[in-house]
Chains A and B, each alone.
Chain A
Amino acid sequence: MTIIAEYGQWFVVLACLFGFFMAWGVGANDVANAMGTSVGSRALTVKQAILIAMVFEFAGAYLAGGEVTGTIRNGIVDADILAGSPELLVYGMLSALLAAGIWLVIASMMGWPVSTTHSIVGAIIGFAAVGIGAEYVYWGKVTTIVMSWVVSPVLAGTISFIIFRSVYKLILNTDNPFQNAKRYVPMYMFVTAFMITMVTFTKGLKHVGLDLSGLESTLIAIGVSIVVMLLGMLLLKRIKVDEVADQQFRFASVERVFAVLMIFTACAMAFAHGSNDVANAVGPLAAVINVVANNGEILAESKVPGWILLLGGGGIVVGLATYGYKVMGTIGRKITELTPSRGFAAELGAATTVVLASGTGLPISTTHTLVGAVLGVGMARGISALNLRMVGTIFASWIVTLPAGAFLAIVFFFMFKGIFG
């Protein structure tokens, strides 16, 4: 109790600093993965992608980021038993943030594909299991989280597979693909908007002060989606058949229709990413602030304060603006094999999965989910060449990231314990 009272301000400042650093890292690296597909398929320029990312990452973090933040904050460590010595939770969360942040920097420099989600979850488990005691970890919840890392790419792949097959049936394998694209693409826009708004209204908006019933949510979601669809149809009106381009490649005009759709799925992707990944930075921060604000009392049930989500969203935006645009450009230049008709299917599959996970409070890796979604499109004979070695690399990165994050967190935990007593 005394430690919290004595150093409380310091803890908050440190937590904000580390949390912001972590959010910066997410914005600098992770967002580029989420948006790179749109840039690569030339549906968006880097600038447009950054703008969309800024708005929708922020919206996602603020409107739908509460559940996952809750899980990171108090879903992994059993805070109730810690009531006697709340400072341990503070040290732990600070060290988890620092460990995950540093591990991400190291991994980025070495060129390993690691996930922010896996780093932070590994770090939290690490400090809790070794620093405090294995019995303080909710192993059941941890198992669910780890399972979700396997399930999410598979689910995203399945959804993308189905979406691309529907594109094949409705548009690509028809006598007039261009006309059919114009007819059916607004439908996909509707689905995209509905999925996002539905999850947001049912799961996210409580902390903003809105509490709607299921029926109200559904009706509002349908209304919003219709507006979005009409907007999309307006944009589609301007797309005309380009005879010259079609001579070179007969589906050039069709792809242009899909490029419009991809603007919408890119928004969904940014929203989904914001709703899930901002928690990696904000969750531990929220835990620290909660302890300090309540003078050492650990209140498991309190809401995540809105300003913390804002801080996380802001960190992502700063990360994007300072470094993320470079990464996005690089990824965009590399991924040119993903045409809009495929890119949208992958993004929609991934965004749906991520938003669903956000709604259930499961921290998953957006990048890995997107990889799963792209593989799904590939299974539907949609992509000309996929490097399957990547799947192995991802597994390897899991095996390395969890213990690495955990180990670093343990080191920092004892360091903080030593400094503050």
Chain B
Amino acid sequence: MAESPLMALFGRSPVKPMQEHMQKAHACAVRLIDFYDMAATGDYTAAEAIRQDIAVLEGEADRMKKDIRMHLPNSLFMPVSRSDLLELLTNQDNLANRAKDIAGVMLGREMAIPAPIQPLMREYLESSITASQKAADALAELDELFETGFSSKEIKLVSGLLSDLDDQEHRADELEIRVRRALRAIEKDYPPIDVMFLYRVIELIGDLANVAQRVGSRLQILLAR
């Protein structure tokens, strides 16, 4: 049967796939807290199972990312710039990658978290994951943005969500400083290489919040036209 010109006119909308990808990426970050709890008790067999989950989720996010890219040919005419959308996608995907990295480094070294910094470390990780949550919240507005034809009211609403995200990232930043300080105070009592990797993990967790914030800024750029 003939392909109607009307049928061929419509490209696949990237909106839903972008949102689903973000949910997937965020799901990777969320699993980190379970992973951390297992790691903190030293149960690295349970932790490994969770890391496996994260790896699977990350793989799925990766496939979704490639699929979206495949369906965004140059000839596509969209209300937003194609390159901005692809940038946003890359950043969303980085969120999943960071989550996997954090789990990877901790599992690779079967890292023991020093008891004195455990509560603070957990709070720090949670705050970083909350940043990812805030980014996901903002991205959940993507379909409404397209539906309203990028109405000024909707843009205002999303901007509000994005400033929440910025605040959250800032909180994560402050916690990072506190965790580093707490670790520095006790670092002499632990094997130096372990401590080095602990610093590395702290940096990666901060990175997670940073990437979440970058998702937000890419979304902001998408809106500004």
Contact = CB atoms under 8 A, between A and B. Distances in A.
* Interface residue tally on B, bucketed by range: 20 to 34
A107 interface: yes
Contacts of B78: 384-386
B4 A381 contact: no
Nearest to A115: B5
Interface string B43-60: 000000000000000000
Contact of A108 (B2, B143, B146, B147): B2
B80 to A, nearest CB: 9
Contacts of A112: 2
B2 A338 contact: no
Contact of B13 (A32, A172, A330, A384): A384
B2 A381 contact: no
A32 B9 contact: no
Contact of B10 (A29, A177, A334): A334
Contacts, number: 132
Nearest to B82: A385
* Interface residue tally on A, bucketed by range: 35 or more
A172 B8 contact: no
Nearest to A346: B6
Interface stretch (B32-40, B150-158, B186-194): B150-158
Given A384-B14, A387-B73, A390-B5, 14 more contacts: A29-B4, A107-B2, A112-B2, A173-B154, A249-B143, A331-B7, A334-B10, A337-B13, A370-B6, A374-B6, A375-B9, A378-B77, A387-B9, A393-B8
Interface of A: 29, 32-33, 36-37, 107-113, 164, 168, 172-175, 177, 249-251, 326-327, 330-331, 334-335, 337-339, 341, 367-368, 370-371, 374-375, 378, 380-390, 393-394, 397
25 contacts: A110-B2, A111-B1, A111-B3, A168-B148, A168-B151, A173-B151, A175-B153, A177-B148, A249-B143, A249-B144, A327-B1, A330-B1, A331-B7, A337-B13, A338-B10, A370-B6, A371-B5, A374-B9, A383-B79, A384-B78, A385-B72, A385-B77, A385-B78, A386-B77, A393-B5
